[in-house]
Chains A and B, each alone.
Chain A
Amino acid sequence: MKYPLSLTVNDENYDVLVEPYHTLMDAIRDGIGLTGTKCACEDGRCGTCTVLIDGQLVKSCLMLGLQANGKSVTTIEGMGSPDALHPLQAAFLEHGAVQCGYCTPGMLLTAKQLLDENPSPTEEDVRSAFVGNLCRCGVYTHATEAILSIAEEKEDR
């Protein structure tokens, strides 16, 4: 049976109905219609569906929608807009860390959380943080460069 689910996504409130077996990813994509959060592996490995929930990173396919009831979610759509890109979004473009773009939303949220928690990560920190985000185009080298460039900018200031 369907249950009401209340979510704050990117500072907007949504009320949708979900089945208990629907994941947070299903609620975000199909219930709310924010499709920037992607689905790729269906076994929780790839990290493409990564979002932030109350400031913590989660693979949204690995949490039931109802577990997130009443919580605040940040998806890629809430990270920045075309007119006002988040510095990481700009850095990913600048450093060539975007190819097909399918894993990009999850990568960016992982990067955001990393820098929010640790403004000057080392390369090893970046590598540990990204273990849960797979990319078939192989943007890892450039993504690392992009993230470290922002950390450096902050240090320069």
Chain B
Amino acid sequence: MIDCHYLEPTTVSEACALLAEHGDGAKVVAGGQQMSLLLRNGLIQPSHLISIQHVSGLEDIAESADGVTIGAKVTLNRLIGVDNAHPTLRALSRAVEDVADQQIRNFATLGGAICEAHPASDINVVLSTLNASVKLVSASGERVVSIDDFVTDAFATAVRPGELLTEVVVPSFDLTSAAAAYRRFVLRAGDYSVVGVGTFVSLDGAGSCQDVRIVVGNCSGTPAQAQEAEGRLKGHNIVGNNALADAGDLAAAHVAPSGDPMASSEYKIDLVNVLTREALAEAVALATG
């Protein structure tokens, strides 16, 4: 068995220096909610664990005109109800309520949840729906990457050796005419979603769709945008007609999920249809509300 070292930096720069020093053998531990099992069960054997538990400055939620910035160490439970103060985060906050269970949400961090890049991640689907991006810091500088570019495949991200995800930025939008929603289906409470769909719609006063984003989760390695369904809605009046049902059909027609033991491809496609329609209906209701 490989000898494993446990390091506890206290600043972002210190953490980045350690990550740079130890390269591929280093793994970041935040809440530990995923890493601890991989380690205990011998599924990963890193030479160095870099715990960011004592790194300060990663637990703030701040709002500016551009959007809401969420520190990577903000726990999932802290996000529940956070939409009272930051309405932009409504869909994220509601989605998080059903992620795993309270024990896990107590310690799982937003940054950790993003980096896990689980194909059934509700959080990454919602963040993609909201056009969010993440800030990656390294010893040599920092860069901002959209969630869509960050999550590259199932359990794979664009994070480079030496980089630490420090914050998430959710851009603001006009809350009086736009809204986002998320719908998921689980086989048992607390489990990963079989399928999740996030929707964002922006309407003008006449019910015409100015902007729309539909993102489907767990039908491929990464959150996937349903462009055909979006095309059916954008620029069209979508209130009081068949538009949302059509969008559901189109979203379903253009996903090709692989089946898994819990759900066949065909069933996932059925769910994409239903959930797209429902998530759109919720977003439209909120946007026109």
A→B interface (CB under 8 Å): 1, 3, 19-23, 26, 42-45, 47, 50, 56-59, 61-64, 66-67, 110, 128-129, 131-133
Q: A47 to B189, alpha carbons, bound, how many Å?
A: 14
Chain A residue at minimum C-beta to C-beta distance from B51: A67
User: How long is the Cα–Cα vector from A1 to B4 in the complex, in angstroms?
Assistant: 6
Does B37 lie within 8 Å of A62, measured CB to CB? yes
Of all chain A residues, the one with the shortest Cβ separation from B106 is A56
CB distance from A142 to the nearest CB of B (A): 19
CB pair A67–B29 under 8 Å, yes or no, is yes
Q: How far is the CB of B110 from chain A (nearest CB, A)?
A: 16
B32 adjacent to A45 (CB under 8 Å): no
* Residue contact B40 to A23, C-beta cutoff 8 Å: yes
Which size bracket describes the interface of B in this complex?
20 to 34
Q: Annotate B235-247 by CB proximity to A: 1 below 8 A, 0 otherwise.
A: 0000000000000
Q: How far is the CB of A147 from chain B (nearest CB, A)?
A: 15
In the complex, which residue of chain B has the Cβ closest to the Cβ of A24?
A: B36
Hey, which bits of chain B sit against chain A, CB under 8 A? 3-6, 29, 31-37, 39-41, 49, 51, 53, 100-104, 106-107, 189-191
B37 touches A61 (CB 8 A): yes
Report yes or no: A43 in contact with B37, Cβ–Cβ below 8 A.
yes
Collect the chain A residues with CB atoms within 8 Å of residue B103's CB.
47, 50, 57-59, 62, 110, 132
The answer on a CB contact under 8 Å between A131 and B51 is: no
Residues on A with C-beta less than 8 A from B4 are 1, 19-21
Closest residue of chain A to B39 (Cβ to Cβ) is A21
CB distance from B15 to the nearest CB of A (A): 15
